[in-house]
Amino acid sequence: MIISNRLMLIILFATLAGTSPGIVSAQGDEDTGPPPAWVSLSLKERKAVLVFAESYKDFMSRAKTEMSFVSEAVKIVEAAGFRELTSDRVIRPGGRYYDVNRGRTITLIVAGKKRFTDGFRVVGAHIDSPRLELKGRPLYEAEGFALFQTYQHGGIKNYQWVNLPLALVGHVDKKDGTRVEISVGLDPEDPILIIPDLSPHVDHDFRERMNRDVIGGEELDPIIATLPDAEHSISNAVLAYLADEYGIEEQDFVSAELALVPAMAPRDVGLDRSLMAIYGQDDKLSSYAAMRAIMEQGTPEYTSLAFLVDNEEVGNVNNTGASSTYLVDLMSELIHRQLGDAYSDYELRQALRKTKVVSADVNPGIHPTWPEVWEAGNAPRLGHGVNFKLYGGGFNANSEYIAWTRAYFDDAGIAWQTATYKGRASGGTIGSSLSKHNMEVIDYGVPVLSIHSTYSVSSKVDVHMLFRAMTAFYQHGS
């Protein structure tokens, strides 16, 4: 009934939108661009969009970090017939496999009809998101409070993280080899953590701070507790609790990966429920779409890979990031299994050259309040489908690969647009790391509002269009 009621609301608003001949721009002129993607959808397609969005929100309510993304993804793909790529696993056309790199990156594989040396079809996206992490020795006391010291993973606006319900998630690895999982704040019955802001009554001396300096990075320390033990030490009371509840001691924080993430659940936005507010959509949005798209494959012509990778927000670094050799090593293993003693590095290099890649990532959509930061004719709009990223300066895919991509978009009825920044902008994807291996790479994604914030906003129809585009990419011929 919930899905049915939401569906009827979306159908009503989308139908009304379809009666309008155009869209009014911020300047009041009628936009001559394509109409919202909703308008062209049938009743059946609108229902598919809504059902997909509900599954996406459910997944995102649990997949808060790269490690929880991987663990949740494994459950889903195993139910869809994927099996771990072990050394003794026989690889056959149509076979469905997954490989996990250190618990922080996952590659999904559907073996194709063609030999691996003919190249692969790869959709790559990252599964880490901007957040706060605990320092190696985080616990301290100040003014009757126990707090945790933090640092940042990825670029954030610090002021967005205060006065916000936060959850502590991750794990602690102990010297004896055991791992302790921690999740506090996601369950509605859990306590939350919070970083309190200054009240307006006492912030006079700080009002001259500008924009991102309103809250300093070293001021992003959440309250942990206030009750002292018998010796009047709050820190000792916290340590006693951690020892009793989790069996960990203060030194164990050095070998921990603990993150502070927004504790809010995904929610629909707007009276028509056409949008979604969710933490971590950059870029679990694209990664979820890729996972679902590869699950749609039967026996494709070319072997399909969904490469869902860690650490893009900090520069694609470390052995779980896109700049590591992991993906190429995996391709090498697949080719070696097929060729045996005939394998050589030459076969690998030729396969890489023949490989086509979609580097998927979200990007800022045109904003209703500040449209001037975009050039309207090249600005991606929420609800208008997938956008090709045309940034110039050597970052674009070559024109023939863009044309090849346009062909399967149009054949599959994918609503698409373009995105080119106005003036100076920043940001990156995993695309440059993959193109270094001589693979053909194109960047596309969907527009999102408030990227890198604690609660970014996407369009349900855009997310579904991205899923459809990735599905078509895997199935498109030479």
pLDDT at 13: 55
Q: What is the pTM of this model?
A: 0.93
Element (H, E) at 16: helix 2-17
Q: Does residue 195 surpass a pLDDT of 60?
A: yes
3-state secondary structure of 146: strand
pLDDT at 429: 86
CATH architecture of 37-129+279-475: 3-Layer(aba) Sandwich (3.40)
pLDDT digits (tens, 9 = 90+) for 262-308: 999 999 999 999 999 999 999 899 999 999 999 999 999 999 999 99
pLDDT at 203: 82
Q: Does residue 15 surpass a pLDDT of 70?
A: no
Residue spans in the chain of domains classed CATH 2.30.250.10:
131-262
Q: Could you count the other beta carbons within 10 Å of the beta carbon of residue 362?
A: 27
pLDDT at 21: 31
3-state secondary structure of 172: strand
How many whole angstroms separate alpha carbon 117 and alpha carbon 302?
Answer: 10
pLDDT digits (tens, 9 = 90+) for 26-73: 333 445 467 899 999 999 999 999 999 999 999 999 999 999 999 999
Q: What is the mean pLDDT of the chain?
A: 92
pLDDT at 20: 37
pLDDT at 395: 84
Contact, 257 vs 67, CB < 8 A?
Answer: yes
Residue spans in the chain of domains classed CATH 3.40.630.10:
37-129+279-475
pLDDT digits (tens, 9 = 90+) for 142-188: 999 999 999 999 999 999 999 999 999 999 999 999 999 999 999 99
Q: Does residue 120 surpass a pLDDT of 70?
A: yes
Contacts of 329 (CB under 8 A, 6+ apart): none
Left (φ > 0), alpha (ψ -120 to 50) or beta: where does 215 sit? beta
pLDDT at 106: 98
Token pair 């070998």 in the structure block, residue: 255
CATH assignment of 131-262, given 2.30.250.10, 2.40.10.230, 3.20.20.210, 2.40.10.340?
2.30.250.10
